[in-house]
């Protein structure tokens, strides 16, 4: 009677399995297909525990289905079951076997817990300081003297040592493909490490409820080959190139009046994301594709697009002023091109 439930469960399981093997999954956001060592360690333990648990589940369900069918009440037959108190031998078995299984599981757990906590040492370790703000991320490379926002660029096959610091509320730094998360706690400095084994773009998310805009606190991680990474570092180190055209000059002036206060760190109590090399960014506010139309939309409707954002709506600019500002920003990058 009750096993009928499993018939309904089956389609769900099948869909899930199809999803697991299928190509419809966003490969940039998938804990089951890691591209970094930390993610591989975690997947290994996930697999281990799933196997073990499925074994336990199979045993329980076999007994369960057998009991439900074999001992169900049949029409017309009235019998009095024997009143058993228990069975010491059986009870010892189902106490001892789980203990052994858990001990087996405990060894890799403890080992991996310590592995993941190790701080990578050496000259080729890239150090990055991650700061979480409501609702954007800042990445500082202290050894390289670079600061970026929303986009973390790392070289492939090199350990990246992250130092996470909170400023306002709790956030949690998570790049599913590269490794699990670590919380960003104001008043604490946390550590974690990552590496990427192949170049590509990986999606990052904030995983700890941090306010109305929590759902949109996304970021990206770009893993580049060493040569490309070096090029990127070089271009980031240069100041933005001078505005030459009329429209860009007008835009630069508007930028200085309206944006620099927060975005260039002039008022530290209202920090905003770094906008140098804005033209090279792939997203606006970590969520919209970086096009001029989207930029206009963002500037005019900040709070409607990302609830709770601290950037006010800049809706007092004339149409031509907005054109100039966005034109300037879309071309704001250093002299050497990407």
Contact positions with another protein (CB under 8 A) in 267-296: none
Cβ proximity of 155 and 224 under 8 Å: yes
Closer residue to another protein, CB minimum distance, 19 or 234: 19
Closest by Cα among 64, 133, 85 to 310? 133
* Among 83, 121, 269, 318, interactor with another protein by CB under 8 A: 83
CA count, 13 A, side-chain hemisphere, 233 = 17
Residue numbers 219-278 binding another protein by CB under 8 A: none
The count of residues in the chain is 338
Q: Count interface residues toward another protein (CB under 8 A).
A: 100
* CB of 291 vs another protein, minimal distance in Å: 17
Using CB under 8 A, which of the segments 54-62, 193-201, 292-300, 318-326 binds another protein?
Answer: 54-62
Closest by Cα among 166, 185, 163, 177 to 205? 177
Closer residue to another protein, CB minimum distance, 203 or 290: 203
* Among 152, 154, 181, 322, interactor with another protein by CB under 8 A: 181
* CB of 247 vs another protein, minimal distance in Å: 33
Cβ proximity of 327 and 251 under 8 Å: yes
Closer residue to another protein, CB minimum distance, 172 or 326: 172
Measured between alpha carbons, how far is residue 318 from residues 261, 262, 315, 322, 323 in Å?
20, 21, 8, 6, 9
Measured between alpha carbons, how far is residue 98 from residues 3, 47, 58 in Å?
26, 18, 14
Q: What is the DSSP pairing of strand 160-166 with strand 126-133? A: parallel
Q: Which residues pair with 283 in a beta bridge?
A: 289
Closer residue to another protein, CB minimum distance, 145 or 186: 186
- The end-to-end CA distance of the chain, in Å, is 65
- Any contact of residue 61 with another protein (CB under 8 A)? yes
Q: How far apart are CA 204 and CA 136, in angstroms?
A: 11
Closer residue to another protein, CB minimum distance, 56 or 234: 56
Q: How many CB atoms lie within 10 A of CB 9?
A: 10
Instruction: Give the neighbor-by-neighbor strand order of the sheet with 151-155.
Output: 151-155, 219-224, 200-206, 171-175, 179-184
* CB of 108 vs another protein, minimal distance in Å: 8
* Among 21, 75, 76, 84, interactor with another protein by CB under 8 A: 84
- Any contact of residue 208 with another protein (CB under 8 A)? yes
* CB of 111 vs another protein, minimal distance in Å: 9
* Among 134, 140, 148, 326, interactor with another protein by CB under 8 A: 134
Closer residue to another protein, CB minimum distance, 253 or 288: 288
Residue numbers 7-46 binding another protein by CB under 8 A: 8-9, 12-13, 15-16, 19-20, 22, 24-26, 29-32, 39, 41-43, 45-46
Closer residue to another protein, CB minimum distance, 35 or 172: 172
Closer residue to another protein, CB minimum distance, 205 or 263: 205
Task: Find how far residue 75's CA is from the centre of its chain.
Answer: 57
Closer residue to another protein, CB minimum distance, 32 or 293: 32
The secondary structure of 200-239 as a DSSP string is EEEEEEE-S--STTGGG--EEEEEE-HHHHHHHHHHHHSP
- Any contact of residue 207 with another protein (CB under 8 A)? yes
- Any contact of residue 105 with another protein (CB under 8 A)? yes
């Amino acid at each position: 009677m009750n096993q009928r439930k499993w018939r309904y469960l089956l389609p769900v399981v099948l869909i899930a399995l199809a999803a697991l093997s299928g190509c419809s999954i966003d490969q940039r956001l998938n804990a089951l297909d890691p591209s970094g060592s930390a993610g591989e360690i975690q997947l290994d333990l996930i697999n281990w525990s799933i196997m073990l648990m499925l074994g336990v589940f199979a045993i329980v369900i076999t007994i369960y289905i057998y009991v439900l069918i074999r001992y169900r009440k049949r029409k017309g037959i009235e019998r009095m079951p024997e009143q058993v108190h228990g069975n010491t031998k059986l009870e010892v078995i189902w106490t001892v076997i789980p203990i052994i299984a858990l001990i087996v599981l405990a060894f890799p757990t403890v080992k991996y817990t310590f592995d993941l906590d190790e701080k990578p040492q050496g000259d080729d370790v890239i150090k990055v300081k991650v700061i979480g703000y409501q609702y954007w991320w800042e990445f500082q490379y202290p050894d390289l003297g670079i600061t970026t926002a929303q986009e973390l660029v790392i070289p492939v096959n090199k350990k990246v040592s992250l130092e996470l610091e909170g400023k306002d509320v709790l956030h949690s730094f998570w790049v599913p493909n590269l490794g699990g998360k670590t919380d960003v706690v104001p008043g604490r400095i946390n550590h974690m490490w990552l590496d990427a084994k192949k170049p590509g773009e990986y999606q990052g998310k904030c995983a700890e409820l941090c306010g109305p805009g929590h759902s949109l606190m996304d970021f990206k991680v770009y893993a580049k080959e060493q040569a490309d990474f070096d090029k990127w570092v070089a271009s980031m180190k240069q100041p933005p190139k001078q505005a030459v055209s009329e429209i860009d000059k007008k835009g630069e002036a508007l930028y200085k009046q309206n944006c620099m206060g927060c975005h260039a760190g002039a008022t530290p109590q209202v920090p905003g994301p770094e906008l140098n090399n804005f033209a090279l960014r792939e997203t606006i506010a970590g969520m919209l594709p970086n096009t001029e139309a989207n930029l206009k939309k963002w500037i005019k409707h900040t709070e409607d697009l990302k609830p709770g954002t601290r950037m006010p709506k800049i809706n007092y600019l004339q149409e031509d002023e907005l054109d100039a500002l966005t034109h300037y920003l879309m071309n704001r990058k250093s002299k050497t091109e990407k």
